[in-house]
Structure 1
Amino acid sequence: MRADLLTELNAERAARRAAILVTDIADGAQRLVKEAEIAVDPLGPVLGKHLASAKSGLVEVDGRTLFLTVHVPPVRLVVIGAVHISQAMAPMAAGLDLALSVIDPRTAFATPERFPGVELVAEWPDAVLGSRVPALDRYCALAALTHDPKIDDPALKAALAAGCFYVGALGSRKTHAARVARLTEAGFSPEQIGRIRAPIGLPIGAVSPAEIALAVLGEVVAALRRVPRPEAA
């Protein structure tokens, strides 16, 4: 790889932005396509498909064989609430290569015994996001699970402001209506608030904490891979 392309790629990596290195197999010519440029690139649809899958591979375009090397930042999942759903979610998230952080100021819930091997922060979300927990960005998913507006709302506001690719919140439709009112009063637009997945999780009829955790992670993966959310029955 040319030195200038490597410098550009390293800059994108450092900023947690995706990029795709396009290599022409015939002559070795290379160019770097940054995520923000994919939509207007001549190979846009092909690049977009590979970006969504996060997989590199060979493609045939106009009689040319190209190798697409996809560079995507590690995906992070920030869960607000050290609850039973979070406990069930931890091993599933590890299996999906999601870097999991659990935040909950309630020290009776946020204990290493309940969350072995998990990055656990027993503090208020707005006090630690961007400091003890890395700042949220578009390669982060956030799931608010406490049912407590004092804990969930600051995290939801931070996730919406950061453009997280997934934002979900536990609660009934009545609970979410009250949440919408609070966020509207805080200055968030209907479009921003509409990004919150509520009720959280895919509509699989989940009942137990493990089933709800599965539904949430399924929805996170669907959002990451840009699959439209199915309508609840």
Structure 2
Amino acid sequence: MSAPGLQRFDNIPETALDWHRAAKDSGQQGGRGAALATVVETWGSAPRRTGSQLAVASDGRIEGSVSGGCVEGAVILAAQEAIADGRHRLLEFGVSDEDAFAVGLACGGTIRILVEPIGGTLAEDTLADLVAARAERRAVSYVVDLDSGAGHLDAEGHTDRKRLDKSGVETDGTIFVAVHNPPLRLVVVGAVHIAQALVPMARIAGYDPAIIDPRAAFASAERFPGETLVEDWPDEAIAALGLDARTAVVLLTHDPKIDDPALEAALRSECFYIGALGSTRTHAKRVARMQGAGFDAAAIERIHGPIGLDIGAAGAAEIAVSIIAEMTAVLRGRRS
């Protein structure tokens, strides 16, 4: 059995904080050892989306990207200057058609990049709180005044931005809101052939999957190489993994003994998507069982069954496409 171990997409804030603290402990740069560069606004085609980040250390190490290589050199130089004097910079670059083509875009555009020295205008405590929230899978926004460089965390506001994963500027371009959502997770119950198609698609779409199945013959490393496999009963497995508002749950076994404990756990959680494989008739029986288990109509309506958008899917791969599409529609508020 592979132990649950969900991964994070990037560790740019974490890396920057580590570099800063290491430099501070060694007495370098007056206690400042790193800066964070963040794409705050784009026009036209831009190599990286708003919110993309680059960490720059005082010794020249870098992690991440803000332009796919087009303007990194100038940003790194500005970051070194910011580390030295403790003041933020707001940079603007035009990306030429030639540079844009080199990183896979048809034409160029313009990007604005905020460079913040840690221990300067970006307070170490604020970054540490952000890193802690990310580790605890708490969605937060980092709100910064682009003129003064003063920033703070907001755990409650910007709900639309969080739902859409959309960082951006507000208040006539003077305030930047960086959304830090927990990574998306997908919990698949049933290591069946549809799961074999669904899991790699989910990874491409930005999900970190975990596959639960008490049947060793199904939940094998040969069938799911490199994936998180939990050979346990779903209620116990889900209790260990945990479900939150950035988690989708997909039930694929057709077996109530396996699906139903997971379904009940999902209905009691805040997971944003619950889908269950089966025909309309199968789903009707599932609804009756959930009613018998004490769930009300509002809770049961959260179950997407039959699972997936109706695209006329035939075969495991097309069913997987329909599931990913429906998960995306629910996540982005296009489908309830």
Instruction: Decide: shared fold, TM above 0.5.
Output: yes
Cα offset, 1:10, TM superposition:
4.1
Partners of 2:191 and 2:213 within 8 A in 1: yes
Could you tell me how far apart the structure 2 residues matched to 1:217 and 1:180 are? 23
> 1:75 — aligned with what?
184
Amino acid at match of 1:106: R
- Give, in angstroms, the shift of residue 139 of structure 1: 1.2
Distance in 2 separating the partners of 1:113 and 1:73: 29
* Counterpart Cα distance in 2 of 1:3 and 1:187: 48
SS of structure 2 residue aligned to 1:130: helix
Which residue does the alignment assign to 1:136?
243
For residues 118 and 11 of structure 1, the distance between their equivalents in structure 2, rounded to whole angstroms, comes to 26
Distance 1:127 1:8 in 2: 31
What code does the residue aligned with 1:125 have?
Answer: P
What is aligned with 2:136? 15
For 2:166, the equivalent position in structure 1 comes to: 55
State how far apart, in whole Å, the 1-side matches of 2:159 and 2:246 are. 15
The AA in structure 2 aligned to 1:23 is V
**Could you tell me how far 1:53 is from its partner in structure 2?**
2.8
* Structure 2 residue 290 is matched with structure 1 residue 169: no
Is 8-17 or 135-144 further displaced after alignment?
A: 8-17
Task: Please give the secondary structure, in 2, of the residue aligned with 1:109.
Answer: coil
5+ long unaligned stretches in structure 2: 1-121
Partner of 2:204: 95
**Which residue of structure 1 aligns with residue 49 of structure 2?**
none
Shift of 1:6: 3.9
1:149 aligns with 2:260: no
**How big is the shift at 1:174?**
1.3
Instruction: Give the distance between the partners of 2:277 and 2:328, measured in 1 at CA.
Output: 17
Judge conservation of contact 2:143–2:151 (CA < 8 Å) in 1: yes
Query: What value does the CA root-mean-square deviation take over the aligned residues?
Result: 1.7
- Once the 2 structures are TM-superposed, how far is the Cα of residue 165 of structure 1 from its aligned partner? 0.5
Q: Structure 2 counterpart of 1:213, which letter?
A: A
Give the CA deviation at 1:11. 4.5
Instruction: Give the equivalent residue in structure 1 for 2:230.
Output: 121
For each residue in 1:114-139, what CA deviation from the matched residue of structure 2 results, as whole angstroms up to 9, or x when unmatched?
111111122211122232xx211111
Correspondence for 2:21? none
Give the TM-score normalised by structure 2: 0.60
Other-structure match for 2:319: 212
Identity of paired residues, percent?
52
Which stretches in structure 1 are left out of the alignment for 5+ residues? 39-46
Give the aligned partner of residue 267 of structure 2.
Answer: 160
Maintained 8 Å contact 2:170/2:177: no
Structure 2 distance, partners of 1:60, 1:96, is 28
* 8 Å CA contact retained: 1:80, 1:152: yes
Are residue 29 (structure 1) and residue 150 (structure 2) matched? Answer: yes
Letter in 1 for 2:307: I
- What is the rounded CA distance, in whole Å, between the counterparts of 1:136 and 1:49 in structure 2? 21
Q: TM-score normalized by structure 1? A: 0.85
Return the offset for 1:74: 1.0
